[in-house]
Amino acid sequence: MRKNLFIGLALSSALAIGSFAVAAQGAPGPHGGWGHHGGAHGMMALHKLNLSDAQKASIKQIMKSSFTQNKSQFQAVRQQRQAFQAMSPTDPGYQAAAASLAQAEGAATTARVQQMANVRAQIYNVLTPAQQSQLASMKAQQQARKQQWQQFKAQHPTGSGTPSGQ
């Protein structure tokens, strides 16, 4: 459970900065490919950008460095969370532990968002101007598809529980 939480935090950071993080970690998705859950099409965006080996290595190093920098903070929050979860609501200090955990979680979230922005900027700087332009175009296309999907869902709401045609 602890390992899954840590991996989940790492993956959420990776997904939030887009497809580069997923590719840099070298982790295939649940279906053996690079998945559908990356920011800009997962690994597919990297394939489309035609990164050089040097760019891939640089991106991998950026991600590894980011992970190393945040590892101790993630571990500290995880340990605090586990200690709180082990407590009973009737234990003395339960509410204080909850407040302390909430502050730690908030600080960790702030640090994670700032680190993701830093990593994203570093990765973006690894790209050539042509790749940056191509990435922007792919992002715009993804946004358009997302908007189309939202419109489709609004026009075709799920039924009220009755089978169609009845």
Contact, 74 vs 3, CB < 8 A? no
Residue 50 confidence class, pLDDT cut points 50, 70, 90: confident
pLDDT band of 69, cuts 50, 70, 90:
confident
Cα R_g (the chain), whole angstroms: 20
Q: Give the pLDDT confidence of 31-46 residue by residue, as tens digits.
A: 333 333 344 334 457 6
pLDDT tens-digit readout, 11-33? 344 433 443 343 333 333 333 33
- Give the up-direction half-sphere exposure of residue 108: CA atoms within 13 A in the CB hemisphere: 22
Burial (Cβ within 10 Å: 0-12, 13-18, ≥19) of residue 58: middle
What does the pLDDT average to over 1-5?
Answer: 48
Q: Is residue 75 included in any domain, yes or no? A: yes
Q: Classify residue 166: in a domain, yes or no.
A: no
Is 29 a domain residue?
A: yes
For 113-164, write each residue's pLDDT tens digit.
999 899 889 989 999 999 999 989 988 999 999 999 999 999 988 865 555 5
Domain carrying residue 91: 2-154
**pLDDT score for 147:** 94
Query: Number of structural domains, the chain?
Result: 1
The verdict on pTM exceeding 0.85 is no
115 lies in a domain?
yes
